[in-house]
């Protein structure tokens, strides 16, 4: 985790000095061969993602554990699973290699699609076919994250900020074994809590409840793709819809970040209707508070500083007012409790790097709003807005990356690789240690050389998303 924060800091500093490469220039192909190459890449993404889910699910089901854990309808991926333990010594490395290959293929896909002339119809077919296949694989995956079970536990309580002991009884007693009785209070906004209650009340079967939360994630993924399509970001649509990391994180694991992200992307698509954008960003903040920070970048495209500050402030104020009205003091107390319970004593160096990266991220957002200047390393810092660096937080950086000229493709393509560099659902595999060390060394050397040679910054002065 500390290595991830250090990499984030170095990425941000390097991006202030060095221009990021345009990955659209990394692949060659004519208009005649591009459809064939893009189809082949898509088929490999679909096939390898299916295999990745299979081996992870098999290992998760084979792990030792108490009877209640083995009886869960979806095998628990965290917190006890260590894929390079004695039973599966090479699995962590194998799955990481698949993720790295996914990034390489997405980079190639970006280049191929950029060279595809008059191929919008083909991209649509590719997105519909490949995206539907990846989504179906994620929806029927045999593993789930502990957070997905927590959503059900919250939904069964009358008040997620004050969970009651009697809620987790009978068929859902396994939830009490996993999260305690009463469960951990909700650290989410009142809008998400209302959605939790609605979803959990649709069934009394735990397995069905989990799948219903996957339905929410699937719908939010589709809404996000539609928002990107509305912005006419053809390459971004493909890299989002054909990204195994996003389907795994937001459908298979059903993390609620995709719901807030969909609202922010919708606000970005409707940025020329400021009132709608303000409301959508405020609603995203009622899913999770950090979306109020990352959502203000939506208004960075306005040419007038006063307008940018006015609408950004309005979105934050409305979001806070909504959370105060429907969450109240109990929301604040729940946040304090979660921080106190989960905030174990961490090394000072880890706390310092975490705080440094978070402050740099906030500074990057401020520069985007006040000066309309962007740097490609800033969105990687947004993971520090959470209590820990978790890979589901990588989605928070997508709106910023889309506004940074053509760098949205770079960010989206890098997500599968970053998934295993940001958070250790896997143990410290040799591959993880090697790639992390190489990243730190190469970024540090690049930063030193750029300072010595006085390179120009890579900040974008024109934040309006590029067409295509």
Report whether pLDDT(340) > 50. Answer: yes
Residue 375 lies in a domain: no
Sorting pLDDT into bands at 50, 70 and 90, what band is 349? confident
Q: How is residue 19 written in tokens?
A: 């221009």
Residue 363 lies in a domain: no
Residue 197 lies in a domain: yes
Residues 6+ apart with CB under 8 A from 457: 16, 17, 375
Residue 259 lies in a domain: yes
- φ and ψ at residue 460, rounded to 5 degrees: -90, 130
pLDDT digits (tens, 9 = 90+) for 238-271: 999 999 999 999 999 999 999 999 999 999 999 9
pLDDT value, residue 56? 83
pLDDT value, residue 84? 42
Torsion of CA 67, 69, 73, 79, to 10 degrees: -170
Report whether pLDDT(235) > 50. Answer: yes
Task: Count CB neighbours of 51 within 10 A.
Answer: 13
Residue 249 lies in a domain: yes
Residue 438 lies in a domain: no
| Coil/strand/helix, residue 18 | coil
Task: Count CB neighbours of 452 within 10 A.
Answer: 8
> Higher pLDDT residue, 95 or 330?
330
Closest listed residue to residue 393, CA positions, set 448, 354, 430, 363? 354
Q: How is residue 295 written in tokens?
A: 């959502």
Between 27-41, 309-323, 337-351, the lowest mean confidence (pLDDT) is in 337-351
Residue 458 lies in a domain: no
3-state helix, strand, coil in the chain (%, to 5): 70, 0, 30
| Coil/strand/helix, residue 187 | coil
Mean pLDDT of 225-247: 92
Alpha-carbon span 359 to 233, nearest angstrom = 30
| Coil/strand/helix, residue 213 | helix
Alpha-carbon span 185 to 144, nearest angstrom = 20
Residues 6+ apart with CB under 8 A from 103: 413, 414, 415, 416, 417
Phi-psi region at 457: left, alpha or beta (left = phi > 0; alpha = psi -120 to 50): beta
Mean pLDDT of 359-366: 93
Range of the domain at 95: 20-346+392-425
pLDDT value, residue 230? 92
The number of domains in the chain is 1
Between 71-75, 147-151, 241-245, 452-456, the lowest mean confidence (pLDDT) is in 452-456
Residue 199 lies in a domain: yes
- φ and ψ at residue 374, rounded to 5 degrees: -125, 150
Sorting pLDDT into bands at 50, 70 and 90, what band is 425? low
pLDDT digits (tens, 9 = 90+) for 276-334: 999 999 999 999 999 999 999 999 988 889 999 999 999 999 999 999 999 989 999 88
């Amino acid at each position: 985790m500390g290595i991830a924060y250090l990499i984030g800091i170095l990425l941000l500093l390097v991006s202030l000095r060095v221009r990021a490469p345009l990955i659209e220039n990394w692949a060659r192909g004519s208009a005649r061969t591009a459809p064939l190459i893009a189809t082949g890449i898509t088929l490999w993404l679909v096939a390898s993602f299916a295999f990745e889910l299979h081996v992870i699910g098999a290992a998760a089901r084979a792990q030792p554990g108490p009877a209640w854990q083995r009886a869960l309808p979806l095998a628990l991926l965290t917190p006890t699973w260590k894929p390079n333990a004695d039973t599966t010594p090479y699995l962590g490395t194998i799955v990481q290699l698949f993720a790295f290959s996914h990034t390489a293929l997405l980079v190639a896909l970006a280049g191929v699609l950029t060279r595809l002339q008059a191929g919008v119809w083909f991209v649509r077919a590719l997105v519909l076919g490949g995206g539907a296949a990846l989504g179906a694989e994620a929806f029927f995956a045999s593993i789930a994250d502990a957070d997905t079970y927590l959503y059900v536990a919250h939904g069964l309580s009358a008040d997620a900020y004050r969970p009651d002991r009697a809620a987790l009884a009978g068929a859902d007693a396994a939830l009490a074994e996993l999260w305690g009785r009463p469960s951990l209070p909700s650290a989410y906004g009142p809008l998400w809590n209302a959605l939790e209650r609605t979803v959990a009340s649709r069934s009394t079967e735990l397995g069905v409840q989990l799948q219903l939360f996957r339905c929410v994630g699937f719908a939010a993924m589709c809404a996000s793709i539609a928002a990107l399509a509305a912005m006419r970001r053809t390459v971004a649509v493909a890299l989002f819809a054909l990204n195994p990391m996003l389907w795994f994180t937001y459908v298979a694991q059903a993390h609620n970040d995709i719901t807030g992200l969909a609202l922010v992307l919708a606000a970005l698509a409707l940025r020329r209707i400021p009132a709608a954008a303000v409301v959508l960003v405020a609603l995203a903040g009622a899913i999770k508070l950090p979306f109020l920070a990352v959502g203000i970048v939506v208004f960075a495209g306005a040419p007038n500083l006063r307008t940018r500050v006015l609408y950004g402030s309005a979105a934050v104020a409305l979001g806070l007012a909504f959370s105060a009205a429907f969450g109240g003091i109990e929301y604040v107390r729940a946040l304090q409790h979660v921080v106190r319970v989960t905030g174990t004593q961490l090394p000072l160096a880890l706390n310092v790097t975490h705080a440094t990266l978070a402050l740099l991220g906030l500074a990057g957002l401020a520069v985007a709003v006040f000066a309309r200047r962007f740097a490609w390393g800033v969105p990687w810092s947004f993971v520090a807005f959470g209590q820990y660096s978790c890979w589901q937080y990588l989605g928070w950086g997508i709106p910023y990356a889309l506004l940074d000229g053509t760098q949205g493709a770079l960010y989206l393509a890098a997500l599968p690789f970053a998934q295993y560099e940001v958070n250790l659902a896997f143990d410290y595999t040799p591959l993880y240690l090697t790639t992390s060390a190489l990243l730190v060394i190469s970024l540090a050397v690049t930063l030193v050389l750029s300072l010595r040679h006085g390179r120009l910054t890579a900040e974008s002065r024109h934040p309006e998303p590029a067409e295509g």
